[in-house]
Structures are given as C-alpha cells and as structure tokens.
Amino acid sequence: MNIVVGITGASGAIYGIRLLEVLKIVPQVTTHLVMSKYAVKNIGLETDYSIEQVLGLANYTYDNDGLAARISSGSYITDATVIVPCSMKTLACISNGICDTLVSRAADVALKESRKLIICPRETPLNSIHLENMLKLSRLGVKIIPPMPAFYNKPKTLDDVLNHQVMKICDCLGIANEIGRRWE
C-alpha cells in the first residue's frame, strides 16, 4: 500500500508520528510524508522528537510547497491519504478545493480519484464552519476520525490514548492490527 501521511499545524502532531511508527513496521506499506511548517513547529513544541527522527519514519518525504511532487498527480497511484492531525485551515482548503499546499493537493487527488481519504480534525470547540466543512467532506466519502479518546479500554498512559486513535485509523485503512485495546 502507498499511503500519504499529512501532518498539519493543529495541536497533536504526536498522532501523526505514532501513525508513522506503526506503519513503518507493516511490510506492505510505503509511506509518503508531508508536513506543514506549523506541523514542524508543533513537533518541536509538543514532542521530544527531532524533525530528522520524524522524517526518518517515512519512506519518502516531500516539502509542503512542492506542488510538482509525484503525490500531487492522480497518475501516481496511492491507496490512501491520511491527514493527522488536520488543522481547520487544511480542512477548509480541502472542503473548498483550494490546493495551495501539497497536503491539500494530495487530499484533492484522493477525492478526484475516488481513493480513501481520512482526516483527523483536531480542534475544540467546533464552530458551524468547521462542522459544515466536515459534513461536506463526509458526504463525499471522507472518513473523519477526530482524536477522541475512548475510556472503555481504561487507558492508563498517553500511549494508550495514542494507540487507540492509530488503531482506528489503521482499521479504516484495512490494516489488521492489535495496536489498541478493543471493546470486549
């Protein structure tokens, strides 16, 4: 599977990092990573990871301004695009067809080619514009998986919370996994 992973400037870059860590150990998955400039900033603010460490988790990396990258074309076959976390700016761009960055263009390609698109919007509280943008994308078949912790699994650590979110993303990608604790 060729999977594009976009990490944008919303708080919660660790979700994207954990997804990359999990996908790295799945032999049939090749990852293509794009990070916005504020994702890079948030990684430094919110985590102990260096940008080099994060880049090293992906098979291929691209500059968010690189609109000529192969993942910006529908003729380059990908199986899915996951944007985690997805900022409200990126959500609005995708919802309105504004392809001014490689992340939003990769999402647009997924939509136009009827490929799997998963977004993990990270914002609270949500206003009507956010909800309308999500509804528009949901009606187009986009899977919306906001990082909302479950408590039936009795999380004890931040890793438990992160793993549950990544489990849900992997489930949606069709990747068999036992990353998180499931409902019994």
Model confidence pLDDT, tens digit, residues 81-135? 999 999 999 999 999 999 999 999 999 999 999 999 999 999 999 999 999 999 9
- What token pair was written down for 179? 């990353």
- Which of 38-42, 91-95, 103-107, 173-177 bottoms out in mean pLDDT, i.e. has the lowest? 173-177
Distance CA 32, CA 150 (A): 29
Q: Give pTM, 2 decimals.
A: 0.96
pLDDT range class, residue 183, cuts 50, 70, 90:
confident
What's residue 124's pLDDT? 95
Average pLDDT of the segment spanning 52-66: 98
Q: Which amino acid is at 54?
A: V
Q: Which pLDDT tens digit goes with each residue over 146-172?
A: 999 999 999 999 999 999 999 999 999
What's residue 182's pLDDT? 86
Distance CA 136, CA 127 (A): 14
3-state class (DSSP) for residue 69: coil
Helices assigned H by DSSP within the chain: 13-24, 37-46, 51-56, 88-95, 102-112, 128-139, 158-173
Residues 76/70, Cβ–Cβ less than 8 Å = yes
Residue 184 pLDDT > 90: no
What the chain holds in terms of domains, given with CATH numbers, is: 2-151 (3.40.50.1950)
What's residue 181's pLDDT? 81
